[in-house]
Amino acid sequence: MNSMLPDFTPNVLIFLSHDIGLSYGCYGDPTARTPTVDAVASEGIVFDNHFCHYPLCGPSRANMFTGLEPPRTERFDNRHFFASFRRSGPPGFQTLSERFIGAG
């Protein structure tokens, strides 16, 4: 086992939502009723400055899981599956999931 890795398997939970913005209690919205999300946020990391690179969910998700912007993933609409990019990605390319698997 890699000595740089912790002796436990960390759990990672990523919430991806559409058209919500800051409409959660954990972001200070006084009218939001989001107790479950707020509870999870209180024990994790809440990103205050994350912005999408494209105004559609497909290209934005591809960006989230690859770290590559839409011109690089060539995803500009919601018609293409992310898996098709995975098969033709640049040499040495890894998705976020693959990096987690590689890290144990």
Q: Catalytic: which of 37, 57, 67, 93?
A: 57
Q: How far apart are CA 43 and CA 38, in angstroms?
A: 9
Whether 57 is catalytic is yes
State which H helix or E strand residue 70 sits in. Answer: helix 70-73
Provide the 8-state DSSP code for 27: G
What DSSP character marks residue 90? Answer: P
CA distances from 34 to 28, 72, 103 (A): 11, 35, 32
Note whether 82 and 56 are within 8 A (CB): no
- Cα–Cα dist 32/24, whole Å: 5
Residues serving a catalytic function are 57
